[in-house]
């Protein structure tokens, strides 16, 4: 059986999301004591234990939430009176540190035309993992877009089957039309991606929205999409549009406002 440290190395190598819970202090009678660890995977699976029962259940929930918001937690639990909401009756106190294990952010670019190519180049420079998905095989190559980390020449409605999408994945659709967006988006909207943006005019997005509604996609899911994509900088060339797109991605990732720095 692998150790937690071996599992952490594997998670980093394979670019997975996880969370590590460590008991940093315990006083009195508690199920487990200092340095006990539990690794929680994105699918909810665990390795190790911090005590089982209600205590472990609560920590497990906090770990899953930490993967989503990317924030560490320092938690304190009394183990005295379940009637007051305590997770046990041992009598002691447990302090737990939960830290998300987050991979390098991934930019999934759907559509490998001029804008997709420029966006891939900029995203790589910004230290994103870059993944290209395109149903036109001749465009989805290192010759067309150098230095991407993965290339997936697959049908637009099969992208989620081939690409690992997690809470650190940002999806940019730079496709050739609303009809393609309507095919690609339903599965992508079921993913835990942090951001989904679609290039094009407001009119094009209205067309794509109608196609999604016809395919049974809910209004709630459609509302997750950023379209027209990017920040308004009057971009025209593929390179300028790429700057607009990546500016919005960075704003979403880091909690920026997109406002001017000076008044």
Which among 84, 101, 118 is the end of a domain?
A: 101
Q: Name the average pLDDT for the chain.
A: 90
Both 77 and 180 in one domain: the answer is: no
Residue 260 lies in a domain: no
Mean pLDDT of 199-225: 95
Tell me the whole-structure pTM to 2 decimals.
Answer: 0.79
Whole-number pLDDT of residue 84: 47
Whole-number pLDDT of residue 86: 46
Which among 77, 101, 125 is the end of a domain?
A: 101
Which among 101, 122, 143 is the end of a domain?
A: 101
Q: How confident is the model at residue 190 (pLDDT cuts 50, 70, 90)?
A: very high
Both 96 and 75 in one domain: the answer is: yes
Whole-number pLDDT of residue 226: 96
**CATH code, 191:** 3.40.50.720
The conformation of residue 191, written as its DSSP 8-state character, comes to S
Whole-number pLDDT of residue 87: 47
Both 215 and 97 in one domain: the answer is: no
Residue 259 lies in a domain: no
Residue 224 lies in a domain: yes
Both 139 and 209 in one domain: the answer is: yes
Domain count, the chain: 2
Question: Strand 195-198 vs strand 225-226: parallel, antiparallel, or unpaired?
Answer: parallel
Contact 88, 31 (CB under 8 A): yes
Please name the residue ranges forming H helices in 2-101. 4-13, 53-69
Determine the structural domain holding residue 27 and report its residue range: 4-101
Contact 96, 66 (CB under 8 A): no
Residue 262 lies in a domain: no
Percent of the chain with pLDDT over 70: 92
Both 79 and 55 in one domain: the answer is: yes
The conformation of residue 186, written as its DSSP 8-state character, comes to H
Cis peptide before 89 (omega within 30 of 0): no
Helix (H) or strand (E) holding 206: helix 202-214
Both 124 and 241 in one domain: the answer is: yes
Tens of pLDDT, residue by residue over 109-156, are 999 999 999 999 999 999 999 999 999 999 999 999 999 999 999 999
Mean pLDDT of 217-245: 95
Tens of pLDDT, residue by residue over 58-111, are 899 999 999 988 899 998 877 654 554 444 556 577 889 999 998 889 999 999
Residue 261 lies in a domain: no
């Amino acid at each position: 059986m692998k150790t937690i440290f071996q599992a952490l190395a594997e998670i980093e190598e394979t670019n997975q999301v996880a969370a590590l819970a460590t008991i940093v202090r315990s006083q009195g009678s508690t199920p487990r004591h200092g340095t006990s660890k539990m690794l929680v995977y994105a699918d909810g699976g665990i390795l190790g234990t911090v005590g089982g029962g209600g205590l472990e259940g609560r920590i497990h929930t906090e770990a899953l939430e930490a993967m989503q918001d990317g924030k560490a937690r320092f938690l304190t639990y009394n183990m005295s009176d379940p009637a007051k909401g305590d997770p046990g009756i041992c009598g002691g106190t447990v302090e737990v540190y939960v830290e998300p294990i987050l991979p390098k952010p991934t930019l999934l670019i759907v559509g490998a035309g001029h804008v997709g190519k420029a966006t891939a180049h900029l995203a790589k420079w910004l230290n994103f993992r870059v993944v290209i998905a395109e149903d036109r095989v001749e465009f989805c190559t290192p010759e067309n877009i150098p230095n991407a980390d993965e290339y997936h020449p697959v049908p637009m409605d099969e992208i989620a089957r081939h690409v690992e999408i997690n809470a650190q994945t940002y999806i940019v659709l730079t496709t050739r039309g609303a009809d393609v967006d309507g095919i690609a988006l339903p599965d992508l909207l079921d993913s835990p991606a942090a951001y989904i943006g679609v290039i094009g005019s407001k009119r094009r997005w209205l067309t794509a929205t109608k196609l999604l509604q016809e395919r049974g996609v809910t209004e709630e899911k459609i509302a997750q999409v950023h379209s027209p994509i990017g920040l308004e900088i009057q971009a025209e060339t593929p390179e300028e549009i790429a700057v607009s797109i990546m500016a919005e991605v960075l704003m979403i990732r880091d909690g920026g406002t997109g406002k001017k720095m000076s008044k």
